[in-house]
Amino acid sequence: MTLSELLCAVREHPQQLVIPATWGQGRAGFGGLVAALVYEAMRAKVPEGRALRSLAITFVGPLALDKPASFEAEVLREGKAVSQMLGRAVQDGQVVTIVQGSFGAARNSAVDVPAEPAPSMPPVDACQELPHVPGVTPEFTRYLAMRWGIGGLPFTGNTSREMGGWVRQRGDVPREPMTEAHLLALVDAWPPAVLPHLKSFAPGSSLTWTIEFIQPLPRLDTHDWCMYRAVIEHARDGYGHCAAALWTPAGELVALSRQTVTVFG
């Protein structure tokens, strides 16, 4: 199932959705997909006109593949302009992912500060692609393509503080408008920025993830490459703290991301 097919499936069957093994990340479901599916459950309960402003995501435990899971949402508070939501993915009676989301309508304001310029990035065709290699790279990379333009690939001993390049869906997917759900998968497709520092394989994963969206979203479709850059702000004792951002090909800011990651090496 493609990303768009799974997003459609969770809207129709949020209580009994199975993540196929092709969307695996090790033994678990790909975290960016799980977050996107919880977001879809939340979005369905938010009034029209209230755009997604931020999500705070905690990966409580792994979501098992090829087993039914439930994607739930509840309204915590609904004010005049802002809806505060709580979403969760539940499997075998246990919460595996919890998401707090803030959705807000636009307000008139005298404050108008443009984003800082996007970083300089080599063109897509000049960047090295991470291929999908069955049994070597994460299974979900069959659906998402990444091309490195900054820093190194995981486990290469590259000690740069920065990592990034270009990302989009892989293959001949239908051309349709890019939503926040698609973008969640694209941002989380990238491995933790600390993994290139290692010289041999060691597992690493997101512990917590906060992402903020620039609204209204810049116009993008599912065939577009997006520019991504992550910066390691601090790493020690098996935990890394990384800030990242996503831009359109034209350099418009799309989202701001921050993760606490664990690394076992």
pLDDT in tens, 103-132: 999 999 999 999 999 999 999 999 999 999
pLDDT mean over 215-232: 97
Residue 26 has pLDDT above 90, yes or no: no
In angstroms, the Cα distances linking 23 to 34, 39, 107, 244 are 10, 17, 39, 23
Q: pLDDT at position 203, please?
A: 85
Q: pLDDT at position 4, please?
A: 95
Q: What is the pLDDT of residues 135-163, one digit of tens each?
A: 889 999 999 999 999 999 999 999 999 99
204 pLDDT band, cuts 50/70/90, is: confident
Radius of gyration of the chain (CA): 18
Residue 217 has pLDDT above 90, yes or no: yes
Q: pLDDT at position 172, please?
A: 86
Residue 198 has pLDDT above 90, yes or no: yes
Residue 264 has pLDDT above 90, yes or no: no
Instruction: Decide which of 2.60.40.10, 3.40.50.1100, 2.40.160.210, 3.40.50.300 is the CATH code for 118-265.
Output: 2.40.160.210
CATH 3.10.129.10 is right for the domain spanning 1-105: yes
Residue 265 has pLDDT above 90, yes or no: no
Q: Which amino acid belongs to residue 60?
A: V
Q: pLDDT at position 80, please?
A: 95
pLDDT mean over 170-184: 94
Residue 211 has pLDDT above 90, yes or no: yes
58 phi and psi angles, rounded to 5 deg: -120, 125
Residue 46 has pLDDT above 90, yes or no: yes
**CA 221 – CA 32 distance, rounded (Å):** 18
Longest dimension (CA), the chain: 53
Sequence-ordered strand ranges (E) for 26-160: 28-29, 51-59, 68-78, 82-91, 94-104, 128-129, 144-150
Q: pLDDT at position 223, please?
A: 96
Map out the domains of the chain as residue ranges. Answer: 1-105, 118-265
pLDDT mean over 184-197: 96
The mean predicted confidence, pLDDT, of the chain is 96
pLDDT mean over 61-68: 96
Q: pLDDT at position 27, please?
A: 85
3-class DSSP state of 58: strand
3-class DSSP state of 115: coil
